[in-house]
Amino acid sequence: MGDTVLYDLDGHVATITYNRPAALNAINGELRRDLNAAWERFRDEEDAWVAIVTGAGRAFCAGADLKDGAGAAGTWPGSFWEIPTVNSFESGMEIWKPTIAAVNGYCLGYGLTLVSACDFVIASDRAEFGFPEVRIGVPTIVGAIRMPAKVGWQHAMELLLTGDRVDADRATEMGLVGRVVPHDSLMEEANALAARLLKAAPLAARATKEMAWRGQRLPWADAVRMGETMRRVAGATDDAREGRAAARERRPPQWRGR
C-alpha cells in the first residue's frame, strides 16, 4: 500500500482514507492499487472488525482521474483491452464486516459506487453526490447495478441518467444517506457508530450481513437452509460460548472474533 490511501487501525476500527487531496481524491492507477490493497487488508486482518472510509481534504472521491484510465474499478490491466473482473470493493469484493462511509465532500462516480456498497452512510452537510459519467459519454456500470436496489428505480435513474449532483439532504430523501451531520462532527459520528457496531459479536455480525445479502438472491428454501447452516457454525465459536456465559453472569461479553 502506498501513500494515496491511508490505513489506520485503532482498536478494532480500521479507517481507510482516500489521500490525493490535491486531485480531489480522483482515482488513478496508483490510488486504485492502494485502495484495493486497503480493502483486502481490512477483509483479511483479524483485529479489524469495522471499517470507516473517508477522504482527505474537501472531497470524498471525485471519481475517475480522466488523465489515467488505469483507475477502473473492476478491471485488471491486459495487453490491450482491460480484463473485466471483480477485484475491488466497488465491483463486488466480498467483505462481510460492517462498513461505514463518512462522506466529507464531493462523492462522484467511483466514489459514489463505493458508498453504495457500504452498510452505513453518514454525510457531512457539505457533501454532494452524483454520477457524471453520462455527461462525458461514458456509461456507469457497477453504479448502475447497485443503485436501483439501494434507492429505488426512479431515484437511481435520476442519479445515473441526468449526471446531476444532489446535496446531502436530497441524498437522504432518496435513501442513499442515513444521516447528515455538521461537517466538523463527521468523524466523531462515524466513530460513535463504529463503537455501537463493536458491541456485536464480530462473527455473528458477519454471518448476519452475509445472509442479509445472499438471502435476497437465493430461493427462499435455499436461503433458510444456508442461514441455518451458518447459525450452527457461528454457534460453535468461542464468541458464542462467551455470549451465553456473559448473559448468564449479567456482564458485558468480551469478544475475540473466534
pLDDT digits (tens, 9 = 90+) for 106-115: 999 999 999 9
Instruction: Please tell me the pTM assigned to this model.
Output: 0.93
The 3-state secondary structure of the chain, one letter per residue: CCCCEEEEEECCEEEEEECCHHHCCCECHHHHHHHHHHHHHHHHCCCCCEEEEEECCCEEECCECCCCHHHCCCEECCCCCCEECCCCCCCCCCCCCCEEEEECCEEECHHHHHHHHCCEEEEECCCEEECCHHHHCCCCCHHHHHHHHHHCHHHHHHHHHHCCEEEHHHHHHHCCCCEEECHHHHHHHHHHHHHHHCCCCHHHHHHHHHHHHHCCCCCHHHHHHHHHHHHHHHHCCHHHHHHHHHHHHCCCCCCCCC
pLDDT at 78 over 70: no
Average pLDDT of the chain is 94
Model confidence at 84, pLDDT cuts 50, 70, 90, reads confident
pLDDT value for 85: 77
Q: Write down the pLDDT at residue 77.
A: 64
Burial 195-209 (b: 16+ CB within 10 A, else e): eebbebbbbbbbbbb
Which domains occur in the chain, in start order? 5-197 (3.90.226.10), 202-249 (1.10.12)
How are beta strands 99-103 and 50-55 bridged, if at all? Answer: parallel
pLDDT value for 81: 54
Query: What pLDDT, on a 0 to 100 scale, did the predictor assign at position 87?
Result: 82
Kindly state the cell numbers that stand for 40: 483486502
Q: What is the pLDDT of residues 21-60, one digit of tens each?
A: 999 999 999 999 999 999 999 999 999 999 999 999 999 9
